Structure 1
Amino acid sequence: MIHKASAALLALTLAACTATPPVSSSVPAADAAPVTIGIIGLNDFHGNLEPIQRALPVREGVEVQAGGAAHLATAIDTLRARHEHHLVISAGDLISASPLVSSLFLDEPTVGVMNRIGLDFNAVGNHEFDRGWRELVRLSEGGCDKLTLREPCAVEPDYAGADFAFLAANVRTPEAMGRGETLFPGTAMRRFGTGEGAVDVGIIGLTLEGTPGLVTPEGIAGLTFADEAETINAAAADLTAKGAEAVVVAIHQGLAPDDQPDVFGCAAISGPLREILDRLNPGIDVVISGHTHRPYVCDYGTIDAARPMLVTSAAWGGQMLTDITLTIDPAAGRVIAKDARNLVIANDNGAAEEGVLRPAARTDIAAYVARYADAARDAETRPVGRLSGPARKEGIESSLGNLIADSQLAATRGAGAQIAFMNSGGIRADLIPAAGGVLSFGQIYTVQPFGNTLMTKTFTGAQLLALLASQFDDGRDNVLAVSQGFRQVLARDGDSYRFVSATLDGKPIDPAATYRVTMNSFLATGGDGFAIFADGTDVVTGPVDLDATEAYLDGEAMRPLPATDRITVTG
């Protein structure tokens, strides 16, 4: 699932992005009239049609309210108007893991908004596959075939699909699917200008190779996800052979700036995308990335002069855009200059800030979103229970993770459950009660929007201990939330942790004993890299995870907030 920056690092990164001049890379121009292309990049929109409620830190002491599709639309119109030639490109996770106003309607309104905004291309991300590849195809192509638990076309009976192209260069299909080599086209070419001054821009779109570990296996059955760098290199060579003077990659994989002051440049850049970038053949001009939700603009030529590409990401949720400019020499057939900057899309009436746009809401988009918000309101505002305090999702152990694990254990006691686990990536928002501790359905839906069912399985103690050790496989820190009565001990291991021991009701886990364990259906098939979850036996299918949370909140009594005392860290 998605990794999130700490608040401190996000503030530092945004401060750098908005206070630092645009990153540029250029070479001497040829004696020909150049063609300038404006590219507007976004990523990880996640159906955030309405403004995000949490303020966005811009720099120390300065926060803004940001996002909202109506404000985003005006910002894109403003940036697009600066260039005769332009493209709007998304680097994936446009949909899913989205708020109720979009997710309740299978993200059809997000597609509708992006049609109206004029999105040109969306590279598929891992979340595009949350409801399965067939539903993704329906969402793209239109129609009302029911392929999920929810009803399609609930607001727009004539839902017609996307006017923009989904790109999936590394998502391969068997011939039996009848969709060609890839699920969606992998590349596209756009021509700008006329006659001798015409130039061609090639676009490559793809997701991370590790997508199968992040989605339910049944939803991607039959698909394969190819190596990212190999896919890009092959596609770029093909586009160049067809005459592309510039190559732009939109990839749903990202960088993770280290917690150092130089997060705006490249010296502190690390993360999965770094390894991909180092394997790319020269000739890529721009890489629009995502997945890590980190904002950055990196001139990669400062790291490797043979690869002078700009690498960008605009945070998440439509709170930022990347403003990219390419200057192409038609005679030389190459990019002669490029620059990029990240811009915060504020929706408040604050004072002018460098790097912050405050566009007015575009009225047609606002009206379209309001149509869906009205349709969702009855479900969204229905009270479901009360909680004694705010339940947060951040931290190695979170009160919200514990609350969800407890609700899942309570819902599956009848199946013999003794332990329940919850993955942190499946928790999408904090749970903040209103006055009197009241929680609404819309709030808990935003926390758990995936519609997973609960599964209870039998594991040996040895399997359980191996599962807990795997929280830190391959250098990751993917700590599971645990239900009441279960405890685990971790030890610091450099900048990470390692699993030490676990107990249930005060007794050490016995490798030779068996235990009944509950998890959501995503984890039950080995999701989030927890392959051992797929090995359990005596499977009993339980309720939908959201229904379990609602039942646990009880509707009447105040539910106490769980303590965060189930994980002990030593060393």
Structure 2
Amino acid sequence: MPATSHPPRRTGRRTYAALAGTAALATAAALAAALPAQAHADKGGHRHPSRYQDVQLLSFNDLHGNLEPPSGSSGRVTELQPDGTTKTIDAGGVEYLATHLRQARAGHPYSITAAGGDMVGASPLISGLFHDEPTIEALNGLKLDVTSVGNHEFDEGRAELTRLQNGGCHPTEGCYTDKKFKGANFPYLAANVLDEKTKKPILEPYWVWKKKDVKIGFIGVTLEGTPGIVSADGVKGLVFKDEVETINKYAKELQRQGVQSIVALIHEGGFPASAAYNYDCDAPGAGAGVSGPIVDIAKNVTPAVDALVTGHTHNAYVCTIDDPAGRPRMVTSASSFGRLYTDTTLTYDRRTGDIARTAVESANRVVTRDVPKAPDMTQLISRWNTLAAPIGNRAIGYISGDVNSTGTESPMGDLIADAQFAYGKELDPETDLALMNPGGVRAGLTYKASGAEGDGVVTYAEGFTVQPFANTVNLQDFTGAQVIQALKEQVSGANEAAPKILQPSANLTYTLDLTKSGADRVVTDSIRLNGAAIDPAATYRVATNSFLAGGGDGFTTLGLGSNDLVGTDDLSALAQYLTAGSSATDPIAPPATNRITIVQ
């Protein structure tokens, strides 16, 4: 067999398979020596492309409009050290991401940059205040080639997503600058998001990258369960199809067009066995390196797809999962908020037009802050910050310490629930309690925040980062039995495998027994409102946000309330609570998180 029948092998990074034995290693060395990286010359001195071409794939996911370096734990990653210990590294910020991507591309004429969805939505003020136009502008500057849609691309509905793709001024707020918004220079792919009437994808289902004789197809999908985690208005008139069936359908279509190398961009993810971004989930003895929804998807997506770029869970992993033919296939995710990017080498076989899977390499890289800032991104941030400053710098309250957003019951979640309860009481004195969904708590409040505001000051911009969705505070009537059922839905039904623990106002307490399973984990006899047991037959007035009031996050019972009363947006309720209840000399202390007693 001639030497050119195998791709060259590389060392020093992860590969799918290792050659065993000295004979195999010698063969690999001989093949590597026989195969030039890019081209060879014939007897006449004319250079021709070699059979194999390395293509660099740089990818990231779940940016969520984090143009500036994220603060607190949202701006750090955990790195595993050679001795088994870990350390944290400050990471993120598009000024640094741009520099890292540009440095990574150096020397790689065949380079693609792709993303796995949630580029926008739940964004900090600098982007969210302007309906994420700044983020699209930044992604254009980053030279993003293609991305899938994520669930947060639907936060403001189909029409707004289409505007982000195609450009144009906001339909109600107009243009924010003297220049018309041009939209994304890259395609958003939405293969499994169909118009309810036409049954056709609302955006392009796939895109093909071409350079000379090399072509690689990209199929983009979001999780099928998007309607359960986005407001009803955001997905009105849309149908979300199965991820695997959709990818397999369009992989066949690409192959019929002669595209044999295919990458799937999937806004669904998994949960690695380690929080360290560089954890080797394929190492011997590592066990199940990654778990969660992406595993079944990866196992069933057609072998025609050569690699999977994933997201949604905000985790970091570079793993191999066998495809239906039993062949290892790379599955990657680069955490969130621009803290990491994944550097993958795809070896393209010009003879077959396919990726030589045995030569695929991949690794997550940290977007460290020790590199020069990209001047164009610094200018972009400065320009949008200038527009946002009059609103963002306004003080809305004071805190005496960090109000964290982590944990089964978080101080930030409790604070929001208390704010919505207080607002509900103003709106209707009959309001009995408030419940806040954990996914709506996007960040905490940092006591020693960056900038010149002073310790303990909470600005509108910081509040916006915590609650960027513009949900309204809704009041509804429920029976006591329905309140109990809603609490049980935290750990049963759609939420049984991955519980979503509602954050309660201070007057609601109960026990969560994690030694049990399903709905039994909520100990019914322990539920107390103002110290008294809830009467299943009585009527209770409950404050939630509009997302929960629509039955979001699997809380179907909360979508069955009556006597609706719609109030102001949730951020205004939080700002009002902080302003009324704190001052520079008498700040609010972080809640004690003692409302849910956890048994485990």
Asked if TM exceeds 0.5, the reply is yes
Q: Percent identity?
A: 38
Aligned position for 2:557? 532
How has the CA–CA distance of structure 1 residues 319 and 152 changed in structure 2, closer, same or farther, with 3 Å as cutoff? farther
Aligned mates of 1:117, 1:26 — CA distance in 2? 35
Which residue identity does 1:563 align to in structure 2? A
Shift of residue 562, structure 1, vs aligned partner: 2.3
1:276 lines up with 2:297 in the alignment: yes
Which residue identity does 2:504 align to in structure 1? V
Secondary structure of 1:472's match? coil
1:376 to 388, 391, 396: 388
Which residue identity does 1:217 align to in structure 2? A
Which residue identity does 1:158 align to in structure 2? K
1:113 to 132, 138, 145: 138
Retained in 1: the 8 A contact 2:195–2:201? Answer: yes
How has the CA–CA distance of structure 1 residues 237 and 472 changed in structure 2, closer, same or farther, with 3 Å as cutoff? same
1:421 lines up with 2:440 in the alignment: no
Retained in 1: the 8 A contact 2:303–2:324? Answer: no
Aligned mates of 1:113, 1:173 — CA distance in 2? 29
Aligned position for 2:596? 567
Which residue identity does 1:115 align to in structure 2? N
Aligned mates of 1:307, 1:545 — CA distance in 2? 49
**Correspondences of 1:273-422 after superposition (within 5 Å):** 273-301=294-322, 306-336=326-356, 337-348=359-370, 359-413=371-425, 414-415=427-428, 416-422=430-436
Aligned mates of 2:373, 2:88 — CA distance in 1? 20
The Cα RMSD (Å) is 2.3
How has the CA–CA distance of structure 1 residues 436 and 192 changed in structure 2, closer, same or farther, with 3 Å as cutoff? closer
2:67 to 49, 69, 75: 49
Aligned mates of 2:443, 2:178 — CA distance in 1? 28
Moved more, 64-73 or 505-514: 64-73
Retained in 2: the 8 A contact 1:201–1:245? Answer: yes
Aligned position for 2:236? 221
Aligned position for 1:35? 53
Shift of residue 74, structure 1, vs aligned partner: 1.8
Aligned mates of 1:96, 1:279 — CA distance in 2? 30
Shift of residue 504, structure 1, vs aligned partner: 0.7
Which residue identity does 1:481 align to in structure 2? Q
Which residue identity does 1:232 align to in structure 2? I
Aligned mates of 1:227, 1:207 — CA distance in 2? 9
Shift of residue 244, structure 1, vs aligned partner: 1.2
Which residue identity does 1:383 align to in structure 2? A
How has the CA–CA distance of structure 1 residues 343 and 406 changed in structure 2, closer, same or farther, with 3 Å as cutoff? same
Aligned mates of 2:486, 2:15 — CA distance in 1? 44
Aligned position for 2:171? 146
Which residue identity does 1:246 align to in structure 2? S
Secondary structure of 1:554's match? helix
Aligned mates of 1:548, 1:531 — CA distance in 2? 24
Retained in 1: the 8 A contact 2:435–2:503? Answer: yes
Shift of residue 96, structure 1, vs aligned partner: 1.0
How has the CA–CA distance of structure 1 residues 152 and 491 changed in structure 2, closer, same or farther, with 3 Å as cutoff? farther
How has the CA–CA distance of structure 1 residues 130 and 25 changed in structure 2, closer, same or farther, with 3 Å as cutoff? farther
Aligned mates of 2:599, 2:106 — CA distance in 1? 57
Structure 2's unaligned 5+ residue stretches are: 1-11, 20-27, 36-49, 283-287, 449-453
Moved more, 251-260 or 505-514: 251-260
Secondary structure of 2:461's match? helix
Retained in 2: the 8 A contact 1:253–1:291? Answer: yes
Aligned mates of 1:459, 1:517 — CA distance in 2? 7
Structure 1's unaligned 5+ residue stretches are: 1-19, 349-358
TM-score relative to the length of structure 2: 0.84
How many residues are paired up? 531
Larger radius of gyration: 2
Aligned mates of 2:344, 2:589 — CA distance in 1? 49
Flag the structure with more relative contact order, 1 or 2, with Cα contacts below 8 A and sequence separation at least 6: 1
Moved more, 54-63 or 28-37: 28-37
Encode CA deviations 1:419-466: one digit per residue, 9 max, x unaligned.
100111111111123456321111111110111100000001111111
Shift of residue 566, structure 1, vs aligned partner: 0.8
Aligned position for 1:22? 14
**Correspondences of 1:423-502 after superposition (within 5 Å):** 423-434=437-448, 435=454, 437-473=456-492, 474-493=496-515, 498-501=521-524, 502=527
TM-score relative to the length of structure 1: 0.88
Retained in 2: the 8 A contact 1:457–1:539? Answer: yes
Secondary structure of 1:291's match? coil
Retained in 2: the 8 A contact 1:199–1:244? Answer: no
